Amino acid sequence: MKTAIFTMGTRGDVQPYIYLSRALKRNGHDVKLGSHPCWRKLIENAGIDFVPIGPDIDIEQEAAAIRGKSSNAALSMIKTMNFIFRIIQNSTNEVYEACKEKDLIIVSHSQMGATEAEALGIPTVNVTLQTEMIAEKGKPQTLMNKIIGGFIGKQMTKPYNKIRKVYGLKPLKNGDSTMSRRLDLIPISKYVVQRSPYWEGQHIMTGYWYEDEEEFTPSDELKAFLESGDRPVILALGAMSFEDKAETVKLDMFVKAFEKAGCRAVIQGFQKSLKEYALPETMIACGSVPHSWLFRQGSFVIHHCGFGTTAATMIYGIPSIPVPHVLDQLGFAMQLKNINVAGEPLKAKDLSVETIYNAIVEMQNTYEEKSRNAKEISEKIKTEGGLSEAVRLIENDISPEKE
């Protein structure tokens, strides 16, 4: 089967589709993964055929610049989405050409490829990372909910309707209209989020998609640091620690809070700030290290609560302190809090030495319970086989009996 997948955004927006592409390839499928040109090396090193889509920009630097202009999580998310939407709209010809002669288009959470597949008459399967984006069609709606839902739906369909116009397709009335009626894969564990009874049947939770990086070997310096004392705190803010310019003040808050709490720490990211910053001996910068290895070395993680780091904390059984920067991250942070593997989200705009220190103290005081819960969740997640289940569902959906 010839399959194409397209996704836009930072590494956390790309990684789930690398896992899925590799799993499909292992099962004999011909898979091409399209994204920003800056992700060519990441995707090709994973053994996946890459299709460059859109302008050759450093998407993490662009996102950092947008984020730096707004301290409001909702506004920052809207600005980032509008930026991505413009790339998607301007790249439709590239996506259309890459879709030709394919048997299936797997439509990522950005909805890339859905319109082009429809124009070419190619079946689609969807992937949804945020359960809030799935319409609860069976749920009774109040008049206010209908008004709000209609407004949001209209805003969400605007960029896609511009693409649909290119191919002479009728405009959509709501965002749900872009979804596949065949299959929507949700790579989230049922032990973390309960399936809504109001969803339609094609929305299926598979469990998380992940692969362990067994071949990773840490540097001698990192290995020596980890062996020299207690398990450290892991500071991993993902793309949120990728700086448009040096953010020494922000880094300094975390360093001082760690010192005040008496914590050893491994710091990932903050490359620009660390060039001019001398860390104390109780801390080390680690650069690019797979979370599948790194998270298992720490006592707890302080992270931005992107989809990838949220999943990794539970897959590898480590409690965490969420520091959401944009709106969807706040939703993932609440998932962790609700199953008691994390404390109250510490919003990025509220960061200070004192708030970080207080969050660490709260984690230390409740650590046993949160650590136990995280390990229990991890064991349950590993029984789901999310990737294998996703491949099984895709193959079942495209089988001749389903046509």
Do 52 and 24 touch, CB atoms closer than 8 A?
Answer: no
Could you report the per-residue pLDDT of 39-61, keeping only the tens digit for each? 999 999 999 999 999 999 877 77
Residue 148 has what pLDDT? 46
Same domain, 190 and 235: no
320 inside domain: yes
Same domain, 145 and 247: no
Same domain, 27 and 136: yes
Query: Is the pLDDT at 70 greater than 90, yes or no?
Result: no
Same domain, 295 and 162: no
Domain that holds residue 396: 2-208+384-402
Same domain, 250 and 362: yes
∠ CA(135), CA(85), CA(43), 5° rounding?
Answer: 95
Do 397 and 107 touch, CB atoms closer than 8 A?
Answer: no
What is the total count of domains within the chain? 2
214 inside domain: no
Question: What is d(CA 115, CA 258) in angstroms, rounded to the nearest whole number?
Answer: 49
Query: Is the pLDDT at 210 greater than 60, yes or no?
Result: yes
117 inside domain: yes
Same domain, 175 and 253: no
Residue 117 has what pLDDT? 96
The stretch 368-386 carries a mean pLDDT of 96
Same domain, 180 and 235: no
Query: Is the pLDDT at 3 greater than 90, yes or no?
Result: yes
Same domain, 183 and 284: no
H or E element in which residue 263 lies:
none
115 inside domain: yes
Cα distances (angstroms) measured from residue 156 to each of 179, 317, 392: 13, 35, 31
Same domain, 200 and 275: no
Do 378 and 367 touch, CB atoms closer than 8 A?
Answer: no
**CATH, residue 360:** 3.40.50.2000
Q: How far is CA 39 from the centre of its chain?
A: 15
Same domain, 234 and 147: no
Q: 276, exposed or middle or buried, with CB in 10 Å at 0-12, 13-18, 19+?
A: exposed
CB-facing half-sphere around the CA of 306: CA atoms within 13 A: 18
Cα distances (angstroms) measured from residue 128 to each of 42, 91, 249, 381: 22, 21, 36, 18
Query: Is the pLDDT at 246 greater than 90, yes or no?
Result: no
Question: What is d(CA 255, CA 253) in angstroms, rounded to the nearest whole number?
Answer: 6
Return the SS3 of 255. Answer: helix
215 inside domain: no
- Averaged pLDDT score across all residues of the chain: 88
Query: Is the pLDDT at 233 greater than 80, yes or no?
Result: yes
The stretch 335-340 carries a mean pLDDT of 95
Same domain, 98 and 10: yes
Could you report the per-residue pLDDT of 297-323, keeping only the tens digit for each? 999 999 999 899 999 999 999 999 999
Same domain, 297 and 395: no
